[in-house]
Amino acid sequence: MEFELWWLLGIPVFFGLGWIAARVDIRQLVSESRTLPRGYFKGLNFLLNEQPDKAIDAFIEIVKLDPETADMHFALGNLFRRRGETERAIRVHQNLLARPDLPQEQKEHAEYELGMDYLKAGLLDRAEETFNRLTGSQYAVQARRALLEIFQREKEWPRAIEAALGLQEAGAGSRQKEVAQFYCELAQDALVHLHPEQALPLLEKSLQVDRTNVRATMLVGDAQLAQGDVEGALLSWRRVEQQSVPHVALVAQRLMDGYRKVGRPQEGVNLLKSYLEQASSIDLIEVVFKAVLELDGVEAAKQLVSAELRRTPTLLGLDKLLEARMMDAPAALVSELSMVKNLVHGYTQKLARYQCSHCGFKARQFYWQCPGCSRWETYPPRRTEELNVMN
């Protein structure tokens, strides 16, 4: 391609056009910024400096001067809700919705914010009614998420299943684990009311949704035991190993009790010992220790705990070893060992907790749903000290 001299003349022209465009944009930006109230920048500055109280005062002044400013109403309502002043947040968003000239897009936005106000205030019926009105709007996905939270709070598990599947179909991510847990909740309720025959089909659905659901497998065994099928329950509980070896600690006591019922306690001890070799766990040691003590005596129990302590040195393991040592210690040493054990035990009470991997909420018992953040399956089946040793 031949070079044309006039191309050089076009370069200054392009630069000039770019300069003019930039000047126009800057003038427009300056013009728009001048139309904003001074309080807007004050409020924004307070927000950036984490002073929400002063930011609210600044935004209130703007709303007084210009009641038609919808964006200021949204900012003010969100600040009220964040501070826990849900009644004031509700009034702000209700006032917005009462405006006949509010565009549809902003009306849906105000409706969504009002629903969040109701949810934060614990007015679940009103929140549900509000979010149901948004299922066909631009906030449909957010509304379904909020409805799912409401159904879980109210323990309306069939509706929670429907909402979760709706979110999944809308492309809002997989909800398989949650749906499987909702079926488990229904099955658990059936077992509490002594209806194992109703629980089993629900648990089958749970495992169809999520084959790795340990809780469903455990509950299948519980339902079979409730029907008198001990051998079937043992087979179900043993399947937990195939899903997650660390979770066998949660079924260890069930397994040991089951093997005692069928008259094969030694088989149960041997099985749990094999699990212990694969995944050491304080909860598992506790069950095996008591079983070995019952079947094989104090010396065998001491050797078991001592070997596990060498393999996984923890204060929880030391506490158990001291307990074993005290069983056949000379009378002169029992008081000293007891003093040391009490001291160690005091520390282990702080360490013998499960901890949510999402929010860090600690609890003495294992939860499938975290009481802190309400997420499912965020608790590892090991105590906090064991996790620290592993890391």
The answer to the question of whether 184 is labelled as a binding residue is no
CA angle 226, 232, 236 (to 5 degrees): 95
Spatial separation of the C-alpha atoms in residues 233 and 221, rounded to whole Å: 4
Task: Give CA separation, 132 vs 27, 99, 142, 268, 389, in Å.
Answer: 45, 21, 11, 52, 48
Spatial separation of the C-alpha atoms in residues 164 and 376, rounded to whole Å: 13
The answer to the question of whether 373 is labelled as a binding residue is yes
Provide Rg for the chain, Cα atoms.
32
Say how many CA atoms lie within 13 Å of 217 toward its Cβ: 20
Burial (0-12, 13-18, 19+ Cβ within 10 Å), 47? middle
Contact 223, 239 (CB under 8 A): no
Spatial separation of the C-alpha atoms in residues 246 and 241, rounded to whole Å: 8
Token representation of residue 91: 């009034």
Task: With H, G, I as helix, E, B as strand and everything else as coil, classify residue 136.
Answer: coil
Q: Which residues are annotated as a binding site for Fe cation?
A: 356, 359, 370, 373
Indicate the annotated binding residues: 356, 359, 370, 373
